[in-house]
Amino acid sequence: MATGIVAISGCVGGYVGSSELPAEDGRNDPTTDESDERIPGHELTDHPWTGAPTVIELADGGSSTLRTVPSRHAILSEAAQGGPVTLPEVWAWQADNHEPSVPGPMYRVEEGSTFDITLENSEDVRPHTLHVHAIEKSWMDDGAPASTGQRVDPGEEQTYRFLADTPGTHLYHCHYQTQNHLDLGMYGIVRVDPTDYEPPDREFFLTIRDWDTRLSRQVAGAGTDYSHRDRNPDVFTINGRSGPYSFHPEEGSPLIVEEGDTVRVHLTNNGYESHPIHLHNHRFEVVEKDGGDVPEAARVEQDVTNIAPAERKTIEFTADADPGIYLLHCHKVHHVMNGDTYPGGMVVPLVYESAMDSPQFEAAMEKAGFDG
């Protein structure tokens, strides 16, 4: 993203959770909820709020410390139209001295680099691990307890070493009790730039996500009946926000471009469902998939591409439409809703800079809760 939004989404140029809570925690018993009704804005905890994701650039031999911090997360801020909608408990990643965030920080490295990430489990009461897709690591650094027998218990730490041998956009997540930990926000992006990488005029990173808010509420101590076998998403986000909050230029992920720009958007799916992503009034090509370049002979112009769980695709296009404001969104239309309200959910805007003085942009910013 480009200032606040550049951190994870934007222009680099410019569980059965109750069973995992310790008995002394005191949040296993139902407190405020008397039914299974979903109340996404219901606040059951006093955890700190998540901040905006950041970009951590690591040189060859670089290192970073990653922690897990129980937090609250705003899907829609109080100022955004339809807000507030919050997840009362998420397990957010925190890198070094940055704020905890959902998604977690994006790690950016160059091809061929070796780098270390130390998982320091000092802020939580549960075991965790770190699993990174695609890039090389030793068996014991794979972060999958079912095959390695290793996990990082509270009060412990483990340093994972990686070789950035596979260029592309990759995922990382906790692989301990994955059905809980991934679904409560423990995911992020590792970007490996090829040695000959030529950045486009505008570059954005978007991670799409479906949520069943009952899990967050159950782990936060509500009397909510939830089973993963009964998972039924009711909240849909891009970079952790739903529309219209996703339009916010600092907390959301608008794609801001100038006419004629070459635009590259890296799409990742850290959720459990597939999402057909559609871009209005522009034709794009898929140029990368799961860390592999798509040969030019295999590329076709299109305006919708499906992103399966854990899949990554990079799309590229020229900002050559009539300058204005256009939408990028999931085309499962009920995923572009907040409850029964449309539009919302899994949507962000593509905004031409020349349209930022229009009444339409002003109205969009008002709905997003931005008063700058």
- Tens of pLDDT along 72-102? 999 999 999 999 999 999 999 999 999 999 9
Q: Name the percent of the chain lying above pLDDT 70.
A: 88
Determine the average pLDDT of the residues in 257-261: 98
Return the pLDDT at 74: 96
Mean pLDDT taken over the chain: 90
Determine the average pLDDT of the residues in 15-30: 28
Q: Name the percent of the chain lying above pLDDT 90.
A: 86
Q: How far apart are CA 43 and CA 224, in angstroms?
A: 14
Determine the average pLDDT of the residues in 22-47: 47
Do 18-24+37-197 and 228-368 show the same overall fold? yes
Contact 215, 77 (CB under 8 A): no
Q: Which has more confidence, 33 or 85?
A: 85
Query: Between 3.40.50.10440, 3.40.50.150, 1.20.1250.20, 2.60.40.420, what CATH number should domain 18-24+37-197 receive?
Result: 2.60.40.420
**CATH class of the domain comprising 228-368:** mainly beta
Q: Answer whether residue 15 shows pLDDT above 60.
A: no
Determine the average pLDDT of the residues in 219-241: 94
Determine the average pLDDT of the residues in 1-7: 34
Q: Where are the domains of the chain?
A: 18-24+37-197, 228-368
Return the pLDDT at 26: 32
Determine the average pLDDT of the residues in 201-211: 98
pTM of the complete model: 0.89
Q: Answer whether residue 38 shows pLDDT above 90.
A: no
Return the pLDDT at 12: 35
Return the pLDDT at 223: 82
Q: Which has more confidence, 372 or 358?
A: 358
In this predicted model, what pLDDT tens digit does every residue of 174-200 receive, in sequence order?
999 999 999 999 999 999 999 999 999
Q: Answer whether residue 201 shows pLDDT above 80.
A: yes
Q: Which has more confidence, 32 or 81?
A: 81
In this predicted model, what pLDDT tens digit does every residue of 132-171 receive, in sequence order?
999 999 999 999 999 999 999 999 999 999 999 999 999 9
In this predicted model, what pLDDT tens digit does every residue of 102-118 receive, in sequence order?
999 999 999 999 999 99
Q: Answer whether residue 17 shows pLDDT above 70.
A: no
Confidence of residue 42 (pLDDT cuts 50, 70, 90): low
